[in-house]
Amino acid sequence: MDTRVRIFDTTLRDGEQSPGASMNVEEKIIVARQLAKLGVDVIEAGFAFSSPGDFEAVKRIAHEVEGPVVCSLARAKADDIDAAWEALKGASRPRIHTFISTSDIHLRHQFKLTRQEARKRAVEMVARARGYVEDVEFSPMDASRSEPEYLYEVVEAVIEAGAATVNIPDTVGYALPETFGQLIAGIRKNVRGIDRAVISVHCHNDLGLAVANSLAAVMNGARQVECTVNGIGERAGNTSLEEIVMILKTRKDVLGLETGINTREIYPASRLVSGITGLSVQANKAIVGDNAFAHESGIHQDGLLKDKSTYEIMTPESVGIQRSKLVLGKHSGRHAFKTRLGELGYDIGGERLDRAFERFKALADKKKEVFDEDIEALVQDEVLRDEMPERFRLVSLSFSGGTGAQPCAEVELEVDGAIVKETGTGDGPVDAVYRTIARITCTRSTLLKYSVNAITGGTDAQGEVSVRLREDDHIVLGQGAHTDIIVASARAYVNALNRLEYKRKEKRESVI
């Protein structure tokens, strides 16, 4: 049997469904380029029919990002399939991924379809997609809670209709490794024509078993794993790309399987996705967490000094973590800056690069040492933010306070092109600035979270502020970085307000 496991990355589709993690088109393209560098086999770039933003992202990634197959999700509906094709046509390696539920729970309560009707729709829509493109994937949603005999029937029928990949989702993260492995073995045994298709799996992490279930599936013959960088995704997320890839690599002795992933690009991909989505990675997260290679105990440190293999089953370098992080200083030129940006996953040029370089020079003048984290924050703050239409722009800010003085802020914002200036007070300088900005922008949003981090050590470090805002059913994240944390706070808030505007607009245009 084939020993190559295909990696299907759905960071830009299922990953983007994480609350507060939406990305704009430019951000998605930057992530997609890093995924191509990482060597994923398939990028699920979005759900073309769902909104103009997703349509544009699928279209641009399919046409601009070289290497992986680029895929759009589509419900088993004619309009969805047609929109997916509209976005993908002309691309070098397009795939349409269509789905419909097969569990009785979903069919009865959500879709109001009989089993026969669902199977018929699946076959018709796979055939419709095949009318456009050779590479069609089908998912029987909620497969792990579907009746196996019916599932076999549907899988057999869609292969007959031309699906080249059949993806078995554990949509609600309910499966257990042993039974999920048996389900895959059952499909291989009972579905006629299964050898003509690749079996894929798509596991959610509600019980913390997504990676274990995916592993059980590949041990039983699945040869594609759907996963996301840092395991982000709907609810508790999806199978983590870095974990499944490093399991297959580190335990090749037992599993005998491989992927096409360049594992040295894993850490840059993790940082990039975390920076862009604002979903931070827990310190003890396997492979990419801050502590994943940090040895605290004296006994462990002693062993490591004698021989790394005593306590290290893989090296940090093998996943792209560099031990020395100091990169650039005030004498570094544009070329060195661009090269480092590329290594960090930000493949940018032209005017965007000029602006980032200007910011870098200004920062290097203020700080003795500029670290990777500084550069990432600067690029995210300055460059990516510019790609989103900005209704609000921070023009200037001053504040005063101190022991015994009422904190007071004066804020100048550009709102729809016009300058508005106001002053206000608050409990502290950040409160004064936020109250003033809220008044100027007339926002109805609630601040759910405010956090500030020193990006690197030292009192000259940049402060990075993250805020989470909610307005109705929209949750957005805003980020800002500056050596002055009050300015960083104001930038983060304004950034979040712009993202809310963007979301609202997307929602108005969205159809599902």
- Residue 27 touches which member of ligand KIV, Zn ion, none, C-beta under 5-8 Å by kind: none
H-assigned helices in 162-280: 177-190, 210-219, 241-250, 252-255, 266-277
Contact 471, 500 (CB under 8 A): yes
The span from the CA of 173 to the CA of 238, in Å, is 9
Contact 495, 479 (CB under 8 A): yes
CB atoms closer than 10 angstroms to residue 329: 12
- Residue 468 touches which member of ligand KIV, Zn ion, none, C-beta under 5-8 Å by kind: none
**Taking CB under 6 A as the rule, does residue 139 contact ligand KIV?**
yes
- Segment interacting with ligand KIV (CB under 6 A) among 164-172, 376-384, 445-453, 493-501: 164-172
- Residue 392 touches which member of Zn ion, ligand KIV, none, C-beta under 5-8 Å by kind: none
CB of 214 to Zn ion, least distance (A): 12
The span from the CA of 467 to the CA of 477, in Å, is 6
318: tokens are: 């093998």
The residue from 55, 85, 99, 337 that contacts ligand KIV (CB under 6 A) is: 99
Encoded amino acid at 40, one letter: V
Q: How many residues does the chain have?
A: 512
- Segment interacting with ligand KIV (CB under 6 A) among 167-175, 259-267, 421-429, 488-496: 167-175
Of the two residues 31 and 465, which places its CB atom closer to Zn ion in the complex? 31
The phi and psi torsions of 411 (rounded to 5 degrees) equal -120, 135
Of the two residues 76 and 348, which places its CB atom closer to ligand KIV in the complex? 76
Contact 22, 12 (CB under 8 A): no
- Segment interacting with ligand KIV (CB under 6 A) among 21-29, 103-111, 165-173, 420-428: 165-173
CB of 495 to ligand KIV, least distance (A): 29
**Taking CB under 6 A as the rule, does residue 14 contact ligand KIV?**
yes
**Taking CB under 6 A as the rule, does residue 202 contact ligand KIV?**
yes
Of the two residues 50 and 171, which places its CB atom closer to ligand KIV in the complex? 171
Taking the CA of residue 422 as centre, how many other CA atoms within 13 Å lie in the half-sphere pointing to its CB?
18
**Taking CB under 6 A as the rule, does residue 169 contact ligand KIV?**
yes
∠ at Cα 233 (229, 235), nearest 5°? 145
Instruction: Report 58-87 residues binding ligand KIV (CB under 6 A).
Output: none
**Taking CB under 6 A as the rule, does residue 171 contact ligand KIV?**
yes
Instruction: Report how many residues bind Zn ion under the rule CB under 5 A.
Output: 1
**Taking CB under 5 A as the rule, does residue 137 contact Zn ion?**
no
CB atoms closer than 10 angstroms to residue 62: 26
Of the two residues 210 and 356, which places its CB atom closer to ligand KIV in the complex? 210
Of the two residues 14 and 41, which places its CB atom closer to Zn ion in the complex? 14
- The SS3 assignment for 76 reads coil
Site mask for Zn ion (CB under 5 A), range 193-212, x = bound? --------------------
The span from the CA of 342 to the CA of 349, in Å, is 10
- Residue 223 touches which member of ligand KIV, Zn ion, none, C-beta under 5-8 Å by kind: none
Report DSSP letters for 198-215, one per residue: EEEEEEB-TTS-HHHHHH
Contact 61, 29 (CB under 8 A): yes
Instruction: Report how many residues bind ligand KIV under the rule CB under 6 A.
Output: 9
CB of 17 to ligand KIV, least distance (A): 8
Question: Which residue is listed with tokens 């507060």?
Answer: 20
Over its C-alpha atoms, the chain yields an Rg (Å, rounded) of 24
**Taking CB under 5 A as the rule, does residue 226 contact Zn ion?**
no
CB of 410 to Zn ion, least distance (A): 47
For β-strands 42-46 and 6-9, DSSP reports them as parallel
- Residue 139 touches which member of ligand KIV, Zn ion, none, C-beta under 5-8 Å by kind: ligand KIV
- Residue 99 touches which member of ligand KIV, Zn ion, none, C-beta under 5-8 Å by kind: ligand KIV
The span from the CA of 489 to the CA of 223, in Å, is 46
Question: Which residue is listed with tokens 């096409």?
Answer: 260
**Taking CB under 6 A as the rule, does residue 141 contact ligand KIV?**
yes
- Residue 480 touches which member of ligand KIV, Zn ion, none, C-beta under 5-8 Å by kind: none
Residue nearest to Zn ion (CB): 14
Contact 219, 248 (CB under 8 A): no
Of the two residues 5 and 467, which places its CB atom closer to ligand KIV in the complex? 5
Site mask for Zn ion (CB under 5 A), range 1-30, x = bound? -------------x----------------
**Taking CB under 6 A as the rule, does residue 228 contact ligand KIV?**
no
CB of 280 to Zn ion, least distance (A): 22
CB of 77 to Zn ion, least distance (A): 18
The closest of 8, 464, 449, 482 to 222, measured between CA atoms, is: 8
Q: Which residues of 220-248 are buried (b: 16+ CB within 10 A; e: fewer)?
A: bbbbbbbbbbbbbbbebbbbbbbbbbbbb
CB atoms closer than 10 angstroms to residue 192: 11
Give contact residues for Zn ion (rule: CB under 5 A): 14
Give contact residues for ligand KIV (rule: CB under 6 A): 14, 99, 139, 141, 167, 169, 171, 202, 204
